[in-house]
Amino acid sequence: MKYILTAIIGIIPAFSSGQTLQYDRPAKVWEETLPLGNGRLGMMPDGGVQTEKIVLNDITLWSGAPQDANNYEAYKQLPAIRQLLKEGKNDEAQALMDKDFICTGKGSGSVPFGCYQTMGELQIQFDHGVPAKYERKLSLQQGLATCTYTVDGVTYRREYLTSFDDDISIVRLTADAPGKLSCRVTMSRAERGTTHTSAGTLILSGQLDNGIDGKGMEYEADVKALLKGGTLTTTDQALIIKNATEVILYLSAGTSYKDAGFRQRIARVMKTAMAKPFASERQQHISKYGRLFNRVQLYLGKGLEEPTDKRLAAFYNNPAADNELAVLFYQFGRYLSICSTRPGLLPPNLQGLWANQVQTPWNGDYHLDVNVQMNHWPVEVSNLSELNLPLAELVKGLVVPGARSAKAYYNAPGWVAHVITNIWGFTEPGESASWGATKSGSGWLCNNLWEHYAFTKDKHYLQEIYPVIKGAAVFYNSLLIKDDKTGWLVMSPSSSPENSFFLPNGHHASICIGATIDNQIVRDLFNDVITAAGVLGRDTALSRELAAKIKQLPPAGVISKDGRIMEWLEDYKETDPQHRHISHLWGLYPAALITAENTPDLAAAAKKTLEVRGDDGPSWTIAYKLLFWARLQDGNRSFKLLKEILKPTFKTDINYGAGGGVYPNMLSAGPPFQIDGNFGATAGIAEMLLQSHAGFINLLPAIPDHWKEEGTVKGLKARGNFTVDFAWKNGQVISYRVTSPVAQKVKIKVNGEIKEILASKI
Ligand code: FUC
């Protein structure tokens, strides 16, 4: 055990059970392999003794291409669609939209929309017999995976890293007796990849389909070996290593995404890394990775020093024995953020950057009706603020294509994105109106962009994103019309993501007037634009107009006869009362339109809503519920949901209903693997410990009984650019410290009492 000393909050014990994933056997399936990544390159080694298989990734590797799939005639149908909705003929309106209000072409079903794909697989074949003392580990503290075992009295060790120093992946193999390492190194890909060797380098390369002329993105992965002792020879398709004592495999890879000279870059990186002693590459990697990871420390009490899969199996029935498992899951989530994105590149997709297939489920794309937003929920509070910037860049890239979609479908100014996007800037509706015509995507993304400002108060950043959020607001503003029945300003058509309801005629429909999430997103976005315009001293007339419109919007929630928040403007009967999406509580989280303090009636209705929805679903749903209950300040219920999400599973078939959980490698299962569950739960654990959305910092707003005895956290962030450290015993905060780059006053709730303090300068 190590101790991290801090002046005010005392000592944080750093147990390895809260920082290390460990196993006593190789991975049998991909869902047991260990994810490594440096924000661009990903590796998932299985630690196989006779054959090591390592799945390779590059976050930029996509098929497809930019396209214009807008139906420029669509807006002409708007009056007819609106009329049908007015008459309560939602099913007919939806049928009309299915004809004209969808993208042209194949939509998400094929190229040119495209798909995030695996780069291939690296295989290392050994001549080893049966091993003893097998151990496989992932150190979250170091960003390193290892595997050790003994065969015939010789101890073999493998180290894997995707370097944060040079942009390269490295596998180091050692034996503790001279000349005992012999292996054969190959690479392959299920399609569109060929392997050859040239001048001692193993090369995998290919070109993906763009859906136009077949000549899409190009990629290449080169492997070179450095040996201590032994010999290196090559065949047409393999590196052959005989009788070495140490082998270091360098894997330099890249794609042509925004980089025509990627082959030269691959060669350059290879040369630089190989010229450096491995020890300094490793040290630099640990220190650069650590600059991000070490910003937050968390201690919640005792844990089990056992293999991770065994801990997961034990946790559901005896969580009290292993409080450190929650720490591990939390820090693993931070680790996954750090490894799956980096400023200047792409945000984490549905699988972060880890995919082992050519056809990744849901194309491994960016879903805009919860998933990519959830991927970013942990980063601000968990002190990884810069990892929000790749998303902001992606969203900036949607403004131009989104303006085309706004014109084509709504004859509207500004820009819009619907439910799915890719690295090519897709903003059109999807290929079916029921799910594809939902247009809250752009507004919801703006909430993520806003949160980065709310946490950092970075005015320069605000200037940069202002045109983006203004453009989204201008779009929604132009679509608001007066609802005949209520007199409120709403959008028509509208829909609540992926959900549907019964009409009085018994038919199903998804399309409606003024879905609650749309009303909440418009309210929140308008508020943010008004605040931003004020800070930047711009657009007074627009601010006045938006402020006047806000007064005419439906309230943040309308309560149904049975006490729930209504999902639609009409109290329709839902087709699936336990539906996985709970979009009408968007105002509770991520927004702060519904809070325990300011809107107690709506908070009570949100509770009722969640009771009826139940606690199960794909993992992202469970994580979202964990967050909702944290905002409702029910720590024990959040903890129950944490237990649900940590339930071990091996299932990989696509699931829309009950049955999430985690795989042995702690990646979350929809199933299949979907990283939003990890990120949502990571945000949720932080939200149980600290909140800052209601005008003050709240320490331990939703602490479960299991964590009350003692705990310490250091380095969490609160809105307003505060860093917060605190410790507690028996559920009571015993010390705390709030710092800020500039000394400023802040309200803080400690042990039930709100007071104003002066945050000290860092
Ligand atoms: C949304 C969800 C599904 C799945 C998919 C990737 O459509 O409703 O459960 O997470 O995104």
Q: Say if ligand 1 is within 6 A of residue 371 CB.
A: yes
Residues 492 and 632 in one domain: no
The answer to whether the CB of 674 is under 6 A from ligand 1 is yes
For ligand 1, say whether the CB of 377 is within 6 Å of any of its atoms.
no
Q: Which two tokens stand for residue 588?
A: 């509770």
**Radius of gyration of the chain measured on its C-alpha atoms:** 26
> Is the confidence at residue 1, as pLDDT, over 90?
no
Between 484 and 762, name the one with better pLDDT.
484
pLDDT of the residue at 4: 40
The answer to whether 74 touches 49, Cβ cutoff 8 Å, is no
| CB of residue 22 inside a 6 A radius of ligand 1 | no
Tokens of 668: 């979350």
The encoded tokens of residue 707 equal 């964590």
Return the structure tokens found at 33: 């392999």
Rounded CA-CA distance 568/510 in Å is 10
pLDDT at 3 over 90: no
Residue with tokens 């299932």: 651
Domain end marker among 270, 293, 316: 293
Q: Is residue 220 part of a domain?
A: yes
- Cα(first)–Cα(last) distance of the chain, in Å? 28
Residue 159 burial (CB count, 10 A): 18
Ligand 1 pocket, residue 656 CB under 6 Å: yes
Domain harbouring 224, CATH code: 2.70.98.50
In a domain? residue 630: yes
Dihedral class, residue 556 (left if φ above 0, else alpha if ψ from -120 to 50, else beta)? alpha
Instruction: State the number of CA atoms in the 13 A half-sphere of 464 facing the CB.
Output: 14
Q: How many residues can be counted in the chain?
A: 762
- Indicate whether residue 675 lines ligand 1 (CB < 6 A): no
pLDDT 10s digits, 149-175: 999 999 999 999 999 999 999 999 999
| Overall number of domains in the chain | 3
**Is there a single domain that holds both residue 422 and residue 493?**
yes
Paired tokens of 525: 């976005």
- Distance CA(620)–CA(656), nearest Å, equals 11
The secondary element (H helix, E strand) that includes residue 137 is strand 132-139
Closest by CA to 620, choosing from 375, 420, 417, 291, is: 375
Per-residue pLDDT at 10: 60
In one letter, which amino acid is 178?
P
Q: Report the nearest-CA residue for atom 9 of ligand 1.
A: 656
Residue 544: partners with Cβ closer than 8 Å, 6 or more residues away: none
Query: Among the three residues 248, 270, 293, which one is the final residue of a domain in this structure?
Result: 293
- Tell me how far apart the alpha carbons of residues 294 and 383 are, in angstroms, rounded to a whole number: 10
**C-alpha–C-alpha distance, residues 122 and 288, integer Å:** 26
- Per the prediction, the chain carries an average pLDDT of 97
Task: Report pLDDT digits (tens) over 222-273.
Answer: 999 999 999 999 999 999 999 999 999 999 999 999 999 999 999 999 999 9
Average pLDDT over residues 694-698: 98
What is residue 563's DSSP assignment?
Answer: S
CA distances from 580 to 378, 543, 618, 622, 673 (A): 21, 36, 7, 9, 16
Distance of alpha carbon 106 from alpha carbon 512, whole angstroms: 25
Asked if omega into 577 is within 30° of 0 (cis), the reply is: no
695 and 737 in a single domain? The answer is yes
Three-state SS at 373 = helix
pLDDT at 5 over 50: no
For helices 619-631 and 600-613, what crossing angle results, to 10°?
A: 150
Confidence of residue 11 (pLDDT cuts 50, 70, 90): low
SS3 breakdown of the chain: % helix, strand, coil, rounded to 5? 35, 25, 40
For residues 374 and 404, membership in a common domain is answered with no
Angstrom distance (rounded) from CA 494 to CA 88: 13
In this structure, are 419 and 450 located in the same domain?
yes
Ligand 1 pocket check for 498: Cβ under 6 Å: yes
Q: Report pTM.
A: 0.98
CATH of the domain at 415: 1.50.10.10
For range 57-76, the mean pLDDT: 98
Distance CA 388, CA 660 (A): 26
| CA 412 to ligand 1 center in whole angstroms | 28
569 domain residue, yes or no: yes
Pocket test for ligand 1, best of 351, 499, 580, 652 (most atoms within 8 A of CB): 580
Pocket test for ligand 1, best of 108, 363, 367 (most atoms within 8 A of CB): 367
Is residue 603 domain-resident? no
Residue-number span of the structural domain to which 46 is assigned: 35-62+118-139+142-293
| Domain-embedded: residue 607 | no
Q: Is 624 in the pocket of ligand 1 (CB under 6 A)?
A: no
Q: Is the pLDDT of residue 6 over 60?
A: no
362 lines ligand 1 (CB under 6 A): yes
Quick one: pLDDT at residue 2? 38
- Ranking 11-25, 28-42, 321-335, 345-359 by mean pLDDT, the lowest is 11-25
Q: Is residue 230 part of a domain?
A: yes
- Tell me the pLDDT tens digit for each residue of 265-282: 999 999 999 999 999 999
Same domain, 504 and 532: yes
Cβ-based neighbour number of residue 484 at 10 Å: 8
| 170 & 284 share domain | yes
The predicted model gives 650-656 an average pLDDT of: 95
Cis before residue 497, ω within 30 degrees of 0?
no
Q: Which atom of ligand 1 is nearest to the CA of 435?
A: 7
pLDDT value of position 762 = 82
User: ∠ CA(104), CA(106), CA(107), 5° rounding?
Assistant: 75
Over residues 576-593, mean pLDDT: 98
Q: What is the mean pLDDT of residues 440-456?
A: 98
The backbone torsions φ and ψ at residue 87, rounded to the nearest 5 degrees and listed phi first, read -85, 5
17: pLDDT confidence band, cut at 50, 70 and 90?
Answer: confident
Q: Where are the alpha helices (DSSP H) in 297-417?
A: 308-315, 324-340, 371-375, 377-381, 389-396, 399-410
Treating both helix axes as pointing N-terminal to C-terminal, what angle do 324-340 and 278-293 enclose, rounded to 10 degrees?
110
288 & 376 share domain: no
Report the alpha-carbon distance of residue 420 to residue 108 in Å, rounded.
8
Alpha-carbon distance 208 to 747, whole Å? 54
- Whether 110 maps to a domain, the answer reads no
Mutate to test the pocket of ligand 1, among 368, 373, 498 (most ligand atoms within 8 A of CB): 498
pLDDT in tens, 367-379: 999 999 999 999 9
Of 269, 293, 317, the residue at which a domain comes to its end is 293
Verify whether ligand 1 is closer than 6 Å to residue 137 (CB atom).
Answer: no
Task: Tell me: do 125 and 218 sit in the same domain.
Answer: yes
Task: Tell me the pLDDT tens digit for each residue of 284-327.
Answer: 999 999 999 999 999 999 999 999 999 999 999 999 999 999 99
* 217 CA → ligand 1 middle, Å: 26
Q: H helices within 224-359, ranges in order?
A: 262-275, 278-293, 308-315, 324-340
Reported as type and span, the H/E element at residue 650 is none
- Identify whether residues 321 and 278 lie together within a single domain: no
Query: Same domain, yes or no, for 179 and 209?
Result: yes
Q: Which of 699, 712, 679 is nearest to 329 (CA)?
A: 679
Q: Same structural domain for residues 421 and 568?
A: yes
Residue 617 CA to ligand 1 center (angstroms) comes to 11
Tell me if 366 CB under 6 Å of ligand 1: no
